[in-house]
Amino acid sequence: MKFWQKICLFSILTFIIIFNAASIMVIERNHSKMLQQEINNTLSANMSINSSVNAVVPILRIYDSIDYEKTVLTNIASEFVRRNSDQGSYLDIADDKDKTVFSNLDFTMPREREEREELEPGEIKYILRDIGERTLLFTTNVTDINKKNYIFTYIKDVTPLYTERMEQYTFFAQMDIVACLIYIIVMFLISKGLTKPIERMVKTAKEIAQGDFSERVQLKSRDEIGVLAANFNEMASVVEDKINELERNNGEKQRFINNITHELKTPLTSIIGYANYMRSTKYDEATFLEGLNAIYSEGKRLEALATKLMDLILLKDHQFQMKPDNMMDIVMELEPSLKHIVAPKGIRLVLECEDSRLPLEKDLIKIVIFNLVDNAVKASKEGGMVVIRTLERGGSCVLEIADEGSGISAEHLDKIFEPFYMADKARTRNNNGAGLGLSICRSIADIHHAEIEVDSELQAGTTIRVVFPQTQEEGGVNP
């Protein structure tokens, strides 16, 4: 059973139960109230008869005649019946021998009269009886006249009260059917309207399950379902981001595998080729020297590749202790080594450093500087210039390396930090590069919660900035 059907069914059942119970209570309460009022009126009428009889009892005692007593009682009863001539009122007077003194009954008095049992003088008892198709209210009292008991029974026909109750039930049944039909239609529309947003979410969930992660629930209500839809959309956005991230990571891993396979294959092919050539060729010093140089060169390339890969593994699997240090002091400490890097191409190294202290891991920062300077040198022409700057900017510490080299085209800027990605593959390979330097720099920057900015223009040079937040707390940082 669908949710909207459950809402509709249970609400209809609840309505029917409450509506019927309330209506029955109202009808029965009204009937009981009117019946009680009729009982009170009948008891009052009986007491009125009793008062009239008690008023003449002293006279009857004087005459002490049975015939006179019956005549007087008959006259009192006739006068009472005349005054209360409304239809449905009956009076019956019997003596202690159960002989009728007066009666205007149009029905047979029942033989079993439990209201007469243990009846005391001055006491009035009443009972309801169904006689034929009528419901009658019997009120009975006994009066002692000259040591003889006369039983007065005043009867009131209350059938109209029960007829009216049945008419009310009939009217209620008709109204119940109409009300239930209207309520069913209304609840059908309401339940469908209330569950429509849920159906939208179910439909959206199915579409997301089928791979359309961009699908969202279009719902503007501010109730609980609207909040649920908003949270559902937020969850779907998170799932979409995670899926995209997984796909991106999977693509990066696949490219990493493809690239490392390619990078390993090239030097290994050269090493195997030269080794096989030297093994199958007669000894010639010049040929052997050429082959050994080639094997040595390709072996060094493999060594550099292995070192870079180890650096990447180290950065991902270790924690590093951050200590306050001055970025300018680190650059100055590296200056002699950096000059050896730029010397072969006659490149001028310019240092424009300012004091900038922050928590960092010194050895990792050295790796960043070496890799960025090395890339700048590879991209620069002979006699060019490489500038290293350290400065504070907007509450952050900035390490900047700028060159006047070949630059990087805009289409490559968003990919240069991927492992093995090379914007200029020929130049990178000629310099024994593997496209891992910038990837290592990005990993180190992430460890320091730093951002890397790149400004580059073809044939005009490249500037790379590593922006370190100075609000880092000292302590271990996970890569």
Confidence of residue 316 (pLDDT cuts 50, 70, 90): low
Q: Residue 188 domain-assigned?
A: no
- State residue 317 phi and psi, 5-degree precision: -110, 5
* Residue 300 and residue 336 share a domain: no
Q: Residue 9 domain-assigned?
A: yes
Confidence of residue 472 (pLDDT cuts 50, 70, 90): very low
The answer to whether the predicted template modeling score (pTM) of the entire model surpasses 0.95 is: no
What average pLDDT does the segment 172-189 reach? Answer: 91
Average pLDDT taken over every residue of the chain: 83
Return the higher-pLDDT residue of 398 and 258. Answer: 398
Whether 354 and 391 have beta carbons less than 8 Å apart is answered as yes
Q: Residue 227 domain-assigned?
A: yes
**Position 322 pLDDT exceeds 70:** yes
**Position 26 pLDDT exceeds 90:** yes
Q: Residue 332 domain-assigned?
A: yes
Confidence of residue 439 (pLDDT cuts 50, 70, 90): confident
Residue range 189-230, pLDDT digits in tens: 888 887 788 888 888 888 888 878 777 877 777 777 778 888
What average pLDDT does the segment 286-308 reach? Answer: 78
Return the H-helix or E-strand segment holding 182: helix 159-209
**Position 69 pLDDT exceeds 90:** no
Look at residue 140 in the predicted model and tell me its pLDDT.
Answer: 92
Exposed e or buried b per residue across 22-36, where buried means at least 16 C-beta atoms within 10 angstroms of its C-beta: ebeeebeeebeeebe
Tell me how far CA of residue 411 lies from CA of 197, 244, 380, 416, 458, in angstroms.
44, 21, 20, 10, 11
Look at residue 474 in the predicted model and tell me its pLDDT.
Answer: 43
Residue entry with tokens 């294959």? 265
Q: Where is average pLDDT lowest: 10-24, 173-187, 459-473? A: 459-473
**Position 49 pLDDT exceeds 50:** yes
Look at residue 159 in the predicted model and tell me its pLDDT.
Answer: 92
Whether 441 and 372 have beta carbons less than 8 Å apart is answered as yes
Look at residue 420 in the predicted model and tell me its pLDDT.
Answer: 64
* Residue 355 and residue 309 share a domain: no
What average pLDDT does the segment 20-39 reach? Answer: 93
Confidence of residue 318 (pLDDT cuts 50, 70, 90): low
* Residue 457 and residue 340 share a domain: yes
Look at residue 385 in the predicted model and tell me its pLDDT.
Answer: 93
Residue range 342-399, pLDDT digits in tens: 888 999 999 999 988 889 888 888 888 988 998 899 889 898 999 999 998 888 899 9
Domain final residue pick, 292, 317, 342: 317
What average pLDDT does the segment 305-328 reach? Answer: 74
* Residue 40 and residue 63 share a domain: yes
* Residue 465 and residue 347 share a domain: yes
Q: Residue 174 domain-assigned?
A: no
Look at residue 467 in the predicted model and tell me its pLDDT.
Answer: 93
* Residue 151 and residue 18 share a domain: yes
Q: Where is average pLDDT lowest: 79-93, 225-239, 266-280, 300-314? A: 300-314
- CATH code, domain carrying 335: 3.30.565.10
Look at residue 478 in the predicted model and tell me its pLDDT.
Answer: 43
Q: Where is average pLDDT lowest: 103-112, 247-256, 333-342, 414-423? A: 414-423
* Residue 135 and residue 87 share a domain: yes
Look at residue 136 in the predicted model and tell me its pLDDT.
Answer: 92
Q: Residue 33 domain-assigned?
A: yes
**Position 443 pLDDT exceeds 60:** yes
Pull the structure tokens for residue 183. Answer: 């309520």
* Residue 327 and residue 306 share a domain: no
Classified as helix, coil or strand, 111 is coil
* Residue 364 and residue 294 share a domain: no
Distance CA 399, CA 372 (A): 10
What average pLDDT does the segment 269-281 reach? Answer: 81
* Residue 8 and residue 52 share a domain: yes
Q: Residue 334 domain-assigned?
A: yes
Look at residue 426 in the predicted model and tell me its pLDDT.
Answer: 43
**Position 80 pLDDT exceeds 90:** no
What average pLDDT does the segment 139-160 reach? Answer: 88
Return the higher-pLDDT residue of 51 and 224. Answer: 51
- CATH code, domain carrying 55: 3.30.450.20
β-pairing verdict for 385-393 and 348-353: parallel
Domain final residue pick, 270, 297, 317: 317
Q: Tell me the residue range of the domain where 404 lies.
A: 320-477
Domain final residue pick, 165, 194, 221: 165
Confidence of residue 53 (pLDDT cuts 50, 70, 90): confident
Look at residue 400 in the predicted model and tell me its pLDDT.
Answer: 93
Q: Residue 194 domain-assigned?
A: no
Residue entry with tokens 């243990």? 118
* Residue 253 and residue 336 share a domain: no
Look at residue 471 in the predicted model and tell me its pLDDT.
Answer: 53
What average pLDDT does the segment 125-151 reach? Answer: 89
Confidence of residue 135 (pLDDT cuts 50, 70, 90): very high
Tell me, rounded to whole angstroms, the distance of Cα 173 from its chain centroid. 42
Return the higher-pLDDT residue of 476 and 130. Answer: 130
* Residue 325 and residue 310 share a domain: no
Look at residue 321 in the predicted model and tell me its pLDDT.
Answer: 78
Look at residue 213 in the predicted model and tell me its pLDDT.
Answer: 75
Strand order in the sheet with 124-131: 100-103, 89-94, 148-157, 134-145, 124-131
User: Domain total for the chain?
Assistant: 3
Distance CA 26, CA 20 (A): 10
